[in-house]
Structure 1
Amino acid sequence: MVKVRLLFFLLGVIGPGGGTLLYNGLPSTTTVQENTPAGTKVYTFSVNSTRALTVPPTIINSSPLTKAFRVDFSPPQYNVVTTGTPPLDFETMPNSFELQIYMEDDSETTELQTLTVQLTNVNEPPVFLGSLANQAVTIYIVEGSPKGIIYQVLASDPEDPANTLKASYSLTPSSPFTVSSTTLGDIESTKIFDYETDQRSYPLTVTVTDSGGLSVNGSLTVFITNINDETPYFITTTTSFTIPEEQSPGTILTNITAVDPDAAGFVSTLYYSINTPNQYFSINQLTGVIQIAKRIDREADPFRLNPVITIDIKVTDRPSAGQSNYTTLTITIQDINDNPPLCKKYAYSKAVPETETNGALIIDLSNECTDIDVETQYNIFNFTGLSGLGSNERFQLLPSGSGRIVLTGNLDYEDPNNIGVGNEYSLTVKVQDIAYPYYSQNIYVYVKTIPINEYPPVFNSSSYVFNISELAPPSTKVGQVYATDADYPYIGITYKIVSGGSTLQTSSIFWMNPTTGALLLADYADYETTRQYQLVVEATDSGSKTSTCSVTVNILEANDEKPICTPNSYTLSVPVDQATGSNIQNFKLTCTDRDSGYTSFQYFINSGNVNNHFTLSPSAGSNISRLILANPFDYTNGVDKIWNYKLMVDITDGNVISGSPQPIGIVQTGTVTLYINVYIPGLTTTTTTTTPSVIYVVSSKNVYSDSAWYVPFVATVGALLLLGFLGLLGYLIAKYCPCRSSPKPDTEML
């Protein structure tokens, strides 16, 4: 369809709809001036059409191509107008345009005609190029700069781009600047400017006129800029100051003022600083106010030796790289009485023996205190106001006002009139300046009385007698000694055994508590070995003074030994028809006791005496007793069935026949074991006639280490294997042996 329509355009054919579509006034040629503003009417035409237009008249192509024109409809006609984009410029654009205007109705009938637009030239004024083309120009000239070109005006004439006609330049005002006559557009300065004396700014108007008399004006402003070519100077005349020490930080010392000729009196352009190293003063860099920055102590170094501070003040008219000037300030620090007397310590503790004599110096405080104020009138002090427990009675400042505390009373610990709490005295002395404001400090002196060991300990008895049973176990208290010491305060007495108490087994069976004096057993005592001990006990006080006393310890006898009888184990044989009341096999027990008499023994058959066949005679009151058959045996009637007896005989030492007091202690018991075999005479070929003798029973105990567990294990396994082998051997002999004996009648008792 597009190709068909294009063909219609080229041939000017009336479309198939059969309608009429014609331009009135086209084709045609028209003219327009350059620089015509947008919307300027270039040409007017109308349209004849019997049908409705679907495409109104439209510029579809131009030669050369441009968007500088468009078709506007203003019923009943159409206008070709400028668009302003791009602007029509005779010097830069083609001078003629061929505009193809196309339209179409609803029957698809089309029409295409050409409008030729010719561009005509118009004389234009010159135009500025560069910065002056859009705005006013500001120019800065540094003071002191040499004469010469300060700016070049760039301009152009649209009709004379090459400036062959030489446009003219003029400048208003014409002084102190001018436009160069040799180099077009160059603006030159005609003098050297001084910021401090000359005008600071110059408004200028430059005019460019072309050969046709058209001109254009541009605005320039020239500013003279200041440079730092003047040195500021101080106008403050006072440079020496005297200030007291201890001023508060922030206190204003003075205000230093300087003037800068460059700044025309504006002090804000000046910057102040302290040029020498300094920590005690600061300066406001804008105002020049000098303040104390840190507490100044006249007594501290370096001011104690040299109270003068010198500082250099620097003023600069720029923060950096500016013109500078200097002045020197001298500040003298004045001493004030701002320090109380200082002492090495404010609490002293002095130990004084209780035997110290009157007039003895306790402490000299004048050597302990100083006043660091520099001036003499401020560093003198004295001591006053001695107070506290014991002051003026036992202690005084001698001479008055000095710091010498002297003993003037009695410090005896044993003196009941001594009122010190624990014989400690708390004294207060005031050390005070003699100048206003009379600074003072309290010094506390604690005097502690040292007790002297003047007296030895004294026992409350020169000798002690104690009794203790031989049965008492170790740690049993035997008795207690006690000593006193006349020295006060009582610090303590220690006790020890000097001699006595030794035995064959140990150096002493006694131990004495060193603090309480209690005498205790360290081991068992044995009355039968040693019945009495003589001890020497020593008491020692804290000062190593000693005294002694004698201590007698009587060991009281106690029944602590068991009866020992021989034999203590024996085997007897007795015929079944033994006569009652007879001594069995002439057996007898012979007993002894280390702590009992021969008549104190008692005999008991504790076990094994079935049917009471046996007795011991005598049963008490003798150290010898015989075994007697008390009741006959009766096996025939079945009364007796036991043929072997084991008698356990107990022998006690608690029987007192003589009437003497029984020893202290419990009843002790010895034990004898008797083995008795009853036999039928005639059934045995051998009669036991063993003479009684002492039988020693030795008990062996296998002790082995836990690590040797394998010894009993191997022995047990070996024994089991041996028993198994013997059993197997007996079984084989019994099974395969050909001879067997015939049974015989019993010859043994049933």
Structure 2
Amino acid sequence: MQSDRSLASPSIPPRCKSVVMCHLDYCDGLDLYILEGANPGFLYQVEAFDPEDTSRNIPLHYFLIFHSVNFSMSANGTLFSTTEFDFEAGHKSFHLVAGVRDSQGLEASTTLHVNIVNVNDEIPRFTSPARVYTISEELVSGTIVANITAEDPDDKGFTGFLLYSITTPNRYFVINQLTGTIQVAHRLDRDAGELRQNPSISLEVLVKDRPSGGQENRMQITFIVEDINDNPAMCTKTTFSIMVPEREAKGTLLLDLNKFCFDDDSKAPNNQFNFTTPSGVGSSGRFSQDPAGSGKIVLIGDLDYENSSNLAAGNKYTMIIQVQDVAPPYYKNNIHIYICTKPENEFPLAFDRPSYVFEVSELRPARTRVGLVHATDKDFPQSSIMYSISMGGASLQYPNIFWINPQTGELQLVTKADYETTPIYILRIQATNVEDSSSVTVTVNILGENDEKPICTPNSYFLAIPMDLKVGTNIQNFKLTCTDLDSSPRSFRYSMGPGNINSHFTFSPNAGSNVTSLLLATRFDCASGLDKIWDYKLLVYITDDNLLSGRKKAQAHVETGTVTLSISVIPHPTTAVTTTARPRVIYQVRRKNVYSPSAWYVPFVITLGSILLLGLLGSLFVLLAKAIHRHCPRKTGKPKKLPVKKGEMKTTKPEVLVETIQMNSVFDGEAIDPVTGAVYEFNSNTGARKWKDPSTQMPRWKEPDPRGTAPSRAVAGEEAGPPRSTGERDGLSGKAPAEDAPIPETRMAAQAPQRAETQPSRATPKLHLGIQQ
């Protein structure tokens, strides 16, 4: 019978046949297998056969021939283990001899080979003695820093069955899982990062006897990274420039290099450094390092700026000093020190004048020289002085209309100045050198020039007049009002340019006033063919040279403005009624309609509404015409004309409407009437006029009768003229009023009498348009 705890057993016969001999019965041997560590107990059942006793059911007696402390056998042939076996302790196999005895005392025996099967029940054991490793920083990747070894008691002598790994997360080391060698995987910089604070790296190494399952063991190892002198001494600045006053005391500390230099190595002496003895041109006897190697530069000599030896060196000195490590390999770096002597400011920087006054014409162009400022420093005449404008010079369009040459101090214009905007500029000029600065006030007076053109209102206008308009008539009461920023109101002169064909038009006054009226100078003559143009486009020139004499006019700068007038002459107008409008202020409101595509519905609604409105008005007109046709009686015949005598029509006096307006009596201009040639005075603000000579009389002239009758004239003072006022102040030939009294302006409108009830008279009363004195 086979044991239940055997790992593997060969095919064993169920019984061992015994042969009864006179001295011995014999059975073949048997191999048995037991797992190590198995509990003591049943191993195998031995069976034997005896022909005599078996047939009579007599039991056989079994026993071990050689006593064993590890095994025992019962009388019925059951083999037991009495101890727990350990393969690694040397219990690998046992040789047992089992015997059997029958009732006659005959015996037989067989051999039992008990083999102990090795089980993986032992953890691997580390055999490497070191637990702490000291390595240097900056090792090359792949460098072997440790070799971890272990063995498995279950497989003693077979180390290839063990697997190694590092369980601690790290970036510095890797381990070969078959050999256990640890290599550098990442740069080890002892002077930076976490290693500068803690140079120890602890790792946990795991060893296993199979990839999954099995036995494993762990061990803690530590790497200590040692610092090496791999960083040279460095400085944040390797070039220094120092300004030292010429009267600086000896022994003064000029520079401490320790504040700027350092060594990144983490431990002494690798992070320690010192300084070599300074050397350089001109530094000997003037500068030194005290104490030696400390990096502290002190002044030991004289730096008088005017000293001949110092002047020979240019008052500039150069020093070279080295910073080096105190530990091998003694890295070095050069430091350059430049020292310049600063002269003492014994004399201030000053301008040659306490203030400057310059003048420049407003007509001068850009880059025009305005003036020159100059400053000096007696303490250091060779020093370069820089000039700048610190305040003033701003205009409405430019932050500064002046520019100063920073080297020469020449003041120039950036753009044209405008006298009318700013007549005086006050500038603050600053001069600066390496030692000092100073300021001076510069006043620039802008000289006013005639650089503004006259501007007139309106600048363009359209007029329509009848062909038979009387000479001297103010055309549609048109007045031209002009202004000039740099000229007096009496400086304007008006002249006609191209377009005034046959000189039909003129301005009155034509000079000396900023307000003038457009008059008809000559009649239109279309009967003789002299006038063939009905549309006139006049170009009016307004010049501001009226107050200049002939000599001054040739030298002065004159500006001219222009106004465009379009005049349309209406031949044979249907009405001849001439009215004079009361003076009024006309406001012109200009609006511009802008169409937006998003408001498409607006023109649609307007168009639809207009169509509906036109349809409604058309229907109303049709209904109105029908109503008039039904109710109005038809004409029975032509009405008879009433005879009217020609003489009666001539002696009929026209009705005259006289309106008196009180005007300002201050007259500030003079002009010549283009029709009479007489001199009159006028008010430039209101346009009121009066004759300068009270005895001046209006001339008489003939006017052709439009009906072809004999010419007739209306003379001032006759009965044919308009009725006089109570004070007899309407006639030109009357007594002239006092100059201090207000001058009334008379406006007249005439209505022609009718010949009969059905026929209006064609006679148009001829009124004399005089100038009220």
Rg larger in structure: 1
Q: TM-score of the superposition, structure 2-length normalised?
A: 0.48
Q: Name the TM-score, length of structure 1 as normaliser.
A: 0.49
Structure with greater strand percent: 1
